Amino acid sequence: MADFFEPESSWTENRFDVEDKAGVSGIAAQISTYGQQTLELRLGNNFSSLTFNVGQANDSKSSDKILVIRVVGNGKQLDVRKVPFNTVQEISVTTKMVNAVKIEATVEDAESRDSKSVLAVVSDVTLD
């Protein structure tokens, strides 16, 4: 977590069970239906790509919701992915001439308006 720019206190660093993998080292935050959690990296225009994995922890309160991950670089959307429960997605974006990258996590707006949240897990973050 030390590599992220002023991470919100809702993010915690630990080991999580995601999909069929136990003890995945990563950082996670609870995402509710009406909430958003953001992680930011300051790159100083020094890297050409950012790659990371994202999934929902097996002990998320809901297994029905879809996690939406939006990657924004210098204020412009670089990628957006939908991550259902029991799935890990690798996300890779080009960051050439990008100083600030944000990883925004929300839950897809669905018919279900229950208060159950998902535990979004970000792992294997690499910059090249």
What pLDDT score was predicted for residue 59?
A: 97
Q: pTM for this one?
A: 0.94
What pLDDT score was predicted for residue 2?
A: 87
The domain segmentation of the chain, as residue ranges, is 12-109
Residues 20-55, buried b or exposed e (16+ Cβ, 10 A)?
Answer: eeeebebbbbbbbbeeebbbebebeeebeebebbbb
What string of pLDDT tens digits covers the 128 residues of the chain? 889 999 999 999 999 999 999 999 999 999 988 789 999 999 999 999 999 999 999 999 999 999 999 999 999 999 999 999 999 999 999 999 999 999 999 999 766 566 789 999 999 999 99
Would you say how long the chain is, in residues?
128
Task: From the options 3.40.50.620, 3.40.1280.10, 2.60.120.1060, 2.60.130.10, give the CATH code of 12-109.
Answer: 2.60.120.1060
Locate the DSSP E strands across the chain.
Answer: 12-18, 21-31, 36-42, 49-56, 67-73, 76-83, 88-94, 100-107, 118-127
What pLDDT score was predicted for residue 35?
A: 86
